[in-house]
Structures are given as structure tokens and as C-alpha cells.
Amino acid sequence: MKAHPDWRVMNRGVNGERTDQIRARFPDFIPDLLIIIAGVNDIYQGRDAAAVQRELEALYAMSLEAGIPIVAGSIIPYNTATAEQNARMHAVNGWIRAYAARHPNMVFCDTRAAVAAPGAPDRLVFSPDDLHPSPEGYRLMARALEGAVEELIAKIGRAG
């Protein structure tokens, strides 16, 4: 927000929400563009990759049908994830990347890579609790998202 004072940024994230819960409250507002980073709570709570993909697809479709372009972020890691949970997150992230590539009003942002520890893509680079990024981790994610938002704005030809 400091780097782009002309951008109005609203965080509508709710701690602990799954994709189905996010979709249930959509749209509670109509933004110029939407950043969707969702699915980690689904995986954490035991949902399979296909269920997360179905919910994300419904959420993406609702956004695109409403004319809202999307930055689709990948599921970020958490340090206590099992190998099986990481495999599900990687499956969903691959699906998100492919989905975004097929839709002209979407851009993929690898938020997982942005917050991952060097040489350990399934671990957070900085975390106070092994579940969430630290403020520095969130800054790394914000930098990645900034580039994706700029790419999407250029792609769709909107300003501000």
C-alpha cells in the first residue's frame, strides 16, 4: 500500500476459513480486481485436492462472471504439514496455475514460492508459529503480489 498509494487495498480474509466458507460470503463487495489466496485451511482440515479445486473453480467463475479480474495465488506452505498434505497443496497449486493460464482475466502468483525457505519449498522462510508467515514473510508475499497485480492491470488495461 505504501508503494502504491493510488491503490485502495481491502483485506477481506477471515482467519481459518475454507474455500467453501469464502465462496458462501462472495460477493460481499465488488472490487476492481480480486486477489484470491485460499485452500490452505481446507488442506489443513483434511479436504482432498479435488474438493479444493471444485471450490476454487466456483469462486473463480463467480468472480469472472461478475467481471472481476483475478490474481490467483498459490497455497502457501506451513511448517507442520505432512508429506501428504504438501502433495495435496502442490496438486492444487498446479491446478491453479493451469486454470489461470487458460483465462484471460487472470494472473497466477506463486505466493508459495515467495514465502518458502530457500532450498525448502515446503517450509516458510520466516514463521513465528510454524503455521503463518512472519511480518517479513508477508512482505515477501506482498512483493510477489505487487508484480502480479501490475501484470494483471497491464493485461486488462485498467488503471488504479
Assess whether pLDDT exceeds 70 at residue 21. Answer: yes
CA 148 to chain centre: 11
The grid cell for 20 is 467453501
**What is the arithmetic mean of pLDDT over 28-37?**
83
- Per residue in 112-133, pLDDT (tens digit) is 999 999 999 999 999 999 999 9
Residue 76 near residue 124, CB atoms below 8 Å: yes
pLDDT at 71: 97
Q: What is the per-residue pLDDT for 128?
A: 94
Structure confidence at residue 159 as a pLDDT band (50, 70, 90): very low
For the cut 70, the answer to whether the pLDDT of residue 27 exceeds it is: no
Q: How far apart are the C-alpha atoms of 87 and 83, rounded to whole Å?
A: 6
Q: What is the pLDDT of residue 28?
A: 66
Task: Tell me the C-alpha to C-alpha distance, in Å, between residue 152 and each of 24, 60, 64.
Answer: 25, 15, 13
Average pLDDT of the chain is 91
Q: What percent of the chain has pLDDT over 70?
A: 94
Return the top range by mean pLDDT from 3-7, 13-17, 152-156.
152-156
Question: What pLDDT, on the 0 to 100 scale, is given for residue 26?
Answer: 78
**What are 33-52's pLDDT values in tens digits?**
999 999 999 999 999 999 99
Q: Which residues of 34-61 are buried (b: 16+ CB within 10 A; e: fewer)?
A: bbbbbbbbbbbeebebebbbebbeebbe
Assign 83 a pLDDT band (cuts: 50, 70, 90).
Answer: very high
Q: What is the pTM of this model?
A: 0.90
Return the pLDDT at 69.
94
Note the CATH number of domain 19-156: 3.40.50.1110
